[in-house]
Structure 1
Amino acid sequence: MSNQNWIERDLSVLWHPCTQMKDHENTLPLIPIKRGEGIWLEDFEGQRYLDAISSWWVNLFGHANPQINAALKTQLDTLEHVLLAGFTHEPALALAEQLVKITPPGLDRCFYADNGSAGVEVALKMSFHYWRNQGKTQKTRFITLENSYHGETLGALAVGNVELYKETYAPLLMETLVAPSPDCFNRETGESCAAYALRQLEKMRQLLEQHAEEVCAVIVEPLVQCAGYMRMYDPEYLRGLRKLCDEYQVHLIADEIAVGFGRTGTLFACEQAEITPDFMCLSKGLTAGYLPLCAVMTTEDMYQAFYDDYTKLNAFLHSHSYTGNPLACRAGLATMEIFEQQNVIANNQKLAEVMRQSCAHLNDHPHVAEVRQHGMILAIEMVQDKASKTPYPWQQRRGLHVYRHALKNNMLLRPLGNVIYFMPPYIITPEQIQDLARIATEGIDIATSEA
């Protein structure tokens, strides 16, 4: 069957995520994918696309990775699924042990969920329930950062702050407190990102001074607000925020769903601030993009607050049918083995430097406000006016020009509005990064040349 045959079948039955389906009739034709191998995706007519966004930030070590494939094939012949309530199994236990070993010190308990949004729900509910078990029933609110994103389920959506996703559902959502973002896009001329972060931290302090008695937790995406147009900030903010949360007795939830497992240059972004949050949500790269799974890492103190006689009704009863699924956990274990066996972080640092060098020229582009980077995440923000950082009207959809140009040149880039970003699998080569930068530059020239 041709690509067109697959497209026609698809449009008759499927409803795609994060999509205005009318676009697929002409503006954005669907791309049917037959197979993936390494960094490449291939359609039904043999056209290949370099997966520069890791298929929505999940794929770490390439499609059809032989080591992960082998682990899953073995697991399929052993145990595909069993409930985790009252039962246990080797993949869930072994992965939890490994995660306790590699996450920041003090995160000694692992609670599984099915995906990132579900994991955020777990952390929110667990934080609230902890304070309830402690008799502090007035703690019912959460503080989030401006421009943050934590998922699409109602709790996760409520603690996000990207209006594009949230505004429609506002009547259904709990009210949260919003602190200014520390992302340094709007820093003063000559002001360092660290100085700007500390300036923004003072506004968080003021919020906590006023509301700490009613706040359960502060939730943040460490270092990179990914769905918030890949805005980035300095680790100094996390270091100061940890101190504030301790001072005002509120929990700190680190949503590392997108930034964990090597994305920002260290295994976990929190490492760069040398902090341990009260909760760390991990997903996406946890299984290298193979299967949905989330691990919510937390402390022994958190665990003990729920540990009691059954009749006290203090247990944490949150559950999913597929909690700790053996296949997903086995994929996670195989992913962790690759990190153990290969020098992934050091190699990523070399690749990140190639990304930086390959895109450095765009700092001088008349319609690029900023080229920013944390490790293996690099973002290029197109603007109408460079001096004032005036954005293009969102209705113009300038990023689509880059998307289309990249597809014509065998590259998959999926801009966030007018922000072009690279978040490739870690198996990308320096030469492929250079090609990617060249194609992105051409696309940006095309996108910004039109009136």
Structure 2
Amino acid sequence: MHPLARLDHQYVWHPFTQMRDWLRQEPIVIVAGRGPWLRDVHGREYLDANASIWTNLHGHNHPRLNAALIRQLRKIAHSSALGLANEPASLLAAELVRAAHMPGSGVRPSHQRLSKVFYSDDGSTALEVALKLAYEFTRRTRGPASRPRFLSLQGAYHGDTLGAVALGHIPLFHQTWRGLLFKTDTVMAPYCYRCPYNRARPERADARLYRQCRWECIEVVARQLERQRRMRGEPYAAFVVEPLIQGAAGMIPQPQGWLTRIAELLRLHNTLLIADEVMTGFGRVGLPLPPPRQPDRAPLFACQLENVSPDFLCLAKGLTGGYLPLAATLTTREVFDAFLGRYEEFKTFFHGHSYTANQLGTATALENLRLLRTRASLRARLRLQQALAETLPALWDVPQVGDIRQVGLVVGIELVRDWTTREPFDLREQAGIRVCRAMARRGVLTRPIGNVIVLMPPYCTTPAQIRKIVETLMLACEETLGRPSRARSKSRVRKPSIR
């Protein structure tokens, strides 16, 4: 075992990892990366097929991001945001607001524009900020007797701070902490593949394409909003959602139009919308077709693809292109104004972080936004989106593939025991983990969500590399789950959608 691996085993406790299993084998120790490639201490190279847990946008060791970081380091690494402002944080805030309201983003003139930026450290804290602001804004606008309550989706995951955990509804992750949490409500997610209202029999296609329903998932939300008003005497403070696709829930995509309908319901019920775009932001959910000709008109956020303007926009992960921890919560002037007052009124937002608005992070994020607005980046994202759409259908030849869900540059492949019945693997069988380990042995790194294999490569990944990733996944399934039939299934394979 390499000395660094021994040190890891001796001292490091890894997140979301059963350490008993971890200690049984030598871990992959990464020492370098360039573009979509990572290299370990033994000199082996791997394609980074999940962008280092969904953070890396342009590839590792990008020269422009490196240069931006070095330029800022020559000036100053950090100064406090408590009582002081700084250059890159001010410039970045203006650019984030601009990105949220680019031409054609669909913001309705009647709705408040996102105009204020509160910085924090990661996705969990971005949600914590939105949660606290929405809670106090509701109390200040509805009166001190108000008891703000929040609504989120089944399978929701919004981070690991206690407020964010309270919004989560994944028992495996969240049940342990229930005694520490405040109560939130939940409604069904639009999980077309396993929706009880979807009357369609399984096909070899994304379940959104062949679903047979009457949008009952929307009716369920409408009834819950009305029940809250009737039973508690006031609307929900906010509805929290990952737009277009839920990440840690299992890469569950929403059918086109769902978010727009939900936003309309929330307006009718005077309920705020908190958009958790920690994973979906910065172009990750892809481009509309046909794509815009001008890079600065390309939408960067999932909400924009459905012309929805949230009251809070929570950003992290790809904000710095995968370089440094940084998060931002955007909100409206209306929310901001509710915290203005004389000093002795103590209406201040009493929340903050030691590294709020850190200069190294904000300077790198600023360059990341400039990169996203280049023609080269626009072409790379479109090429990757199309390469995934053209390559993924080969996976229907694998009998254990039940659903393939692509939303732009995000893919979830759900593994099942029998695709004709959608029978799942028991989580204790570790089907997803075993497949990902077999992929790693063949030079492709990703991490499963239960029985769902996630593919979310950096934007610089080429079509040839996408083919390698998909072929590796097929071989890994054959090795760990059994051989596929030589004959393609007789069921019709529908043409995929790259949205």
TM range (shorter): over 0.9
Structure 2 CA distance for aligned equivalents of residues 76 and 156 of structure 1: 32
Match of 1:244 among 252, 257, 265: 265
Alpha-carbon distance change, 197 to 158 in structure 1, aligned in 2, over 3 angstroms = farther
Give 1:312 shift: 2.0
**Letter aligned with residue 229 of structure 1:** G
Trace 1:306-385 onto structure 2 (pairs within 5 A): 306-385=339-418
1:407 aligns with 2:440: yes
Q: Which deviates more, 129-138 or 216-225?
A: 129-138
Q: Which deviates more, 347-356 or 337-346?
A: 337-346
Trace 1:160-199 onto structure 2 (pairs within 5 A): 160-186=168-194, 187-189=198-200, 198-199=215-216
Structure 2 CA distance for aligned equivalents of residues 435 and 171 of structure 1: 46
1 or 2, which has the higher helix percentage? 1
The answer to whether the Cα contact below 8 Å between 2:235 and 2:269 also exists between their aligned partners in 1 is no
Structure 2 CA distance for aligned equivalents of residues 197 and 337 of structure 1: 42
Q: Which residue of 1 aligns with 2:97?
A: 100
Q: Which residue of 2 aligns with 1:289?
A: 322
Give 1:163 shift: 1.3
**Letter aligned with residue 244 of structure 1:** L
Q: Which residue of 2 aligns with 1:44?
A: 41
Q: Which residue of 2 aligns with 1:254?
A: 275
Structure 1 CA distance for aligned equivalents of residues 248 and 214 of structure 2: 20
**Letter aligned with residue 20 of structure 1:** Q
Identity %: 36
Q: Which residue of 1 aligns with 2:21?
A: 23
Structure 2 CA distance for aligned equivalents of residues 25 and 305 of structure 1: 51
The answer to whether the Cα contact below 8 Å between 2:235 and 2:270 also exists between their aligned partners in 1 is no
Structure 2 CA distance for aligned equivalents of residues 82 and 156 of structure 1: 27
1:226 aligns with 2:247: yes
Give 1:196 shift: 5.0
Q: Which deviates more, 107-116 or 128-137?
A: 128-137
Structure 2 CA distance for aligned equivalents of residues 192 and 76 of structure 1: 47
The answer to whether the Cα contact below 8 Å between 2:200 and 2:212 also exists between their aligned partners in 1 is no
Q: Which deviates more, 179-188 or 386-395?
A: 179-188
Q: Give CA-to-partner distance per residue, 1:363-416, whole Å, 9 cap, x none.
A: 343221111100001111110121221101111101222212211211112121
SS in 2 for 1:148: coil
Give 1:247 shift: 0.8
Structure 1 CA distance for aligned equivalents of residues 444 and 322 of structure 2: 19
Give 1:235 shift: 3.6
The answer to whether the Cα contact below 8 Å between 2:285 and 2:301 also exists between their aligned partners in 1 is yes
SS in 2 for 1:215: coil
Q: Which deviates more, 275-284 or 241-250?
A: 241-250
**Letter aligned with residue 202 of structure 1:** E
Alpha-carbon distance change, 277 to 162 in structure 1, aligned in 2, over 3 angstroms = same
The answer to whether the Cα contact below 8 Å between 2:321 and 2:365 also exists between their aligned partners in 1 is yes
**Unaligned runs of at least 5 residues, structure 2:** 102-106, 108-112, 202-206, 288-299, 484-499
Give 1:346 shift: 4.4
Q: Which deviates more, 194-203 or 344-353?
A: 194-203
The answer to whether the Cα contact below 8 Å between 1:139 and 1:214 also exists between their aligned partners in 2 is no
Q: Which residue of 1 aligns with 2:68?
A: 71
Q: How many pairs are equivalent?
A: 447
Structure 2 CA distance for aligned equivalents of residues 195 and 238 of structure 1: 19
Root-mean-square deviation (CA), in Å?
Answer: 1.7
Q: Which residue of 2 aligns with 1:209?
A: 226
The answer to whether the Cα contact below 8 Å between 1:287 and 1:331 also exists between their aligned partners in 2 is yes
Give 1:30 shift: 1.1
Alpha-carbon distance change, 327 to 7 in structure 1, aligned in 2, over 3 angstroms = same
The answer to whether the Cα contact below 8 Å between 1:235 and 1:272 also exists between their aligned partners in 2 is no
Give 1:419 shift: 1.0
**Letter aligned with residue 259 of structure 1:** T
The answer to whether the Cα contact below 8 Å between 1:183 and 1:197 also exists between their aligned partners in 2 is no
Match of 1:423 among 439, 447, 456: 456
Alpha-carbon distance change, 351 to 276 in structure 1, aligned in 2, over 3 angstroms = same
Give 1:268 shift: 0.8
Q: Give CA-to-partner distance per residue, 1:93-129, whole Å, 9 cap, x none.
A: 0000000001144111111111110010000000011
The answer to whether the Cα contact below 8 Å between 1:133 and 1:314 also exists between their aligned partners in 2 is no
Q: Which residue of 2 aligns with 1:8?
A: 6
Q: Which deviates more, 51-60 or 132-141?
A: 132-141
Q: Could you tell me the TM-score, scaled by structure 1's length?
A: 0.95
The answer to whether the Cα contact below 8 Å between 2:193 and 2:208 also exists between their aligned partners in 1 is no
Q: Give CA-to-partner distance per residue, 1:14-41, whole Å, 9 cap, x none.
A: 1111111111222x53111111111111
Give 1:343 shift: 4.1
The answer to whether the Cα contact below 8 Å between 1:197 and 1:236 also exists between their aligned partners in 2 is no
**Unaligned runs of at least 5 residues, structure 1:** none
Structure 2 CA distance for aligned equivalents of residues 354 and 389 of structure 1: 27
Structure 1 CA distance for aligned equivalents of residues 124 and 365 of structure 2: 18
SS in 2 for 1:87: coil
